[in-house]
Amino acid sequence: MRQFQQPPRGRGRPRIGYTAVQRSVGYQDLAQVLADQLGSDPRRRADLAVTAGRAWGAKVEQCEQPIASLEDARDVAITVSSELGFAPERDTASESAQQSNVRLTACPLRELARTHSEVVCGVHQGLMREVLDRNGGRDVVNVRLHPFVGPDLCVLRLETSAAALVPDPAHIPDQVGPTSRIATPSGNRVGPQLRSDPQLRNADADIAQEATQQR
């Protein structure tokens, strides 16, 4: 409430009036304060930010579409990021059977992200990871946010997870080629050996390093 003096009416002291004042919420300032409370170590700040983002993602309304493929994950990511104001665009030129990129052309906290990208982008990555996991994407895709690949552009990269690429032994034929099986000392046969990308295993930790390099 704000107090003001009403125009005088006749004799006596002027009456005091009151009017309601609507204050705008300083979300940018609030985010700045929260970012500063996460400590000075960029890697730890990134880890805490991803954890906070997951907690936020757990409160986001679950999508109706279950995730069983990379395409499903991309559609859910586009829907959620659009609802949150990131103005996503599908990057069809870079798509492959194992990867899909979503261009984020807007960010509600872009100015803060320029100075605290490991925090802001860490929160957004944790949010998206939690949303995809809750809709069945945990063993289907890995998600990573690449901040500021352009002046006002971030990219959300979705990659088919190693777990989704491992073939079911029950569906592997006995002979598909001379190098398709690896013999073991016991004489047993195992399926093709797949190595997971170390970047996928360390995606959360890499946010801090990548954000520092791009400032």
- Domain borders along the chain are 42-167+197-215
Among the residue ranges 19-23, 106-110, 115-119, the one predicted with the least confidence is 19-23
Task: Tell me the CATH number for domain 42-167+197-215.
Answer: 3.30.1380
Contact 157, 142 (CB under 8 A): no
User: In the predicted model, what is the mean pLDDT of residues 159-186?
Assistant: 52
Rounded to whole angstroms, the Cα distance separating 76 from 65 reads 7
User: In the predicted model, what is the mean pLDDT of residues 175-192?
Assistant: 42
pLDDT at 34: 76
Residue 182's pLDDT band (cuts 50, 70, 90): very low
Residue 73's pLDDT band (cuts 50, 70, 90): very high
Checking if the pLDDT of 156 tops 80, the result is yes
Q: What is the average pLDDT value for the chain, to the nearest integer?
A: 76
Rounded to whole angstroms, the Cα distance separating 191 from 125 reads 33
Q: What is the pLDDT of residues 34-59, one digit of tens each?
A: 778 888 888 898 899 999 999 999 98
Rounded to whole angstroms, the Cα distance separating 147 from 155 reads 7
